[in-house]
Amino acid sequence: MQPSTKIMQSRVSAVDLAMLTVVAIWGINSAVVKSSLAGWDQLAFNAIRFPGAALLLFAYLLLTDRQWRLKWSDLWRVAALGLVGNGFYQWLYIEAISRGTASNTSLIIAMSPVVVTLWGALAGTDRLSAWIYGGVAVSFAGAGLVIFGQQGGFHLGGPSLVGDLIAFGAMACWAGYTVYARGVIDRIGSSLRVTAWAMIFGAITNVLIGLPALLRQDYSLITTTSVSGMAFSAVFSLVAGYVIYAWAVSRVGGARTAIYLNLTPILSAVIAWLFIGEQWTVLQWSGALFVVVGVTVTKLEAAK
């Protein structure tokens, strides 16, 4: 292999491309879901969207994996992942948005890489250098600047205190899912198998939580646009995004994949700037630079 080829492979790996794809999908998804929720009770929306995605992914698993069944000894591990990472996380995130503010919730969720880093080190799933810790810290600080710089800024307390506390719970659920997914995937040997089964358990949880909302939902308010947005979110954000994310975690661990997710609020802000005319402040552009630096430092250190 030529030296130039080795340099190119060290600069851009399959995991880099995979996580940037996830960032793009989830960054676009926030705008799609926001516009699609018109007329919906948010829990009813989730109780349809998530099971639809879970069934679609499970059908793909059946078609592509002859060993799709799980051993009874593994089933409870995957069920726990699905309950926490697909069930409780989705529920708490939507409740946080509805009870609090978008800026508070986004920043609190953006803390998950820090929790993943510390959690992974304590659990022994990731061995982290000082440079990786620094990259996580710098990237998190950048995500904070992006949200601090938005109109209204960040504040903890007041009328949104309940939403803020719920958002901390959602962040903890996602961090736990990220940390422990790698061990379960290594044990079972297939990120697709784990993700598909976990989504089934998550779908059951979302249906049970959203059942009262489904019963009281006024379906005459639902438009073709909202249904299309729900389908887009289910196929790309939940099916494609979760599969790619699980594969990346299985390859390089939770801390190195979670760091990329700090780019999601930045992409969302760029999309808002391009399509609905929102302008970034100097503080937000500074935060974007911090995130890029943090991701770059972490990637280069992990490649050694």
Within-domain flag for 261:
yes
Token pair for 288: 């974007």
Q: How many domains does the chain have?
A: 1
Question: What does the buried/exposed string (b/e) look like for 91-119 if buried means 16 or more CB atoms within 10 Å of the residue's CB?
Answer: bbbbbbbebbbbbbbbbbbbbbbbbbbbb
Within-domain flag for 6:
no
Type of residue at 275: F
Cut 0.75: pTM above it: yes
Smallest CA-to-CA distance from 84 within 125, 121, 124, 112 is with: 112
| Mean pLDDT score of the chain | 81
For residue 241, give its domain range. Answer: 12-302
Within-domain flag for 2:
no
Torsion of CA 247, 121, 292, 249, to 10 degrees: 0
Within-domain flag for 1:
no
pLDDT in tens, 27-84: 888 778 878 888 899 899 999 999 999 999 999 999 989 899 999 999 999 999 999 9
CA distances from 112 to 115, 161, 168, 244, 258 (A): 5, 19, 9, 18, 7
Distance, CA of 10 to CA of 299 (rounded, Å) = 9
Within-domain flag for 218:
yes
Smallest CA-to-CA distance from 226 within 234, 237, 216, 238 is with: 234
pLDDT in tens, 126-167: 677 888 788 878 888 887 787 777 666 555 555 566 777 888
Within-domain flag for 189:
yes
Residue indicated by tokens 């986004």: 106
**For the chain, what percent of residues have pLDDT higher than 90?**
31
Within-domain flag for 150:
yes
Distance, CA of 241 to CA of 53 (rounded, Å) = 11
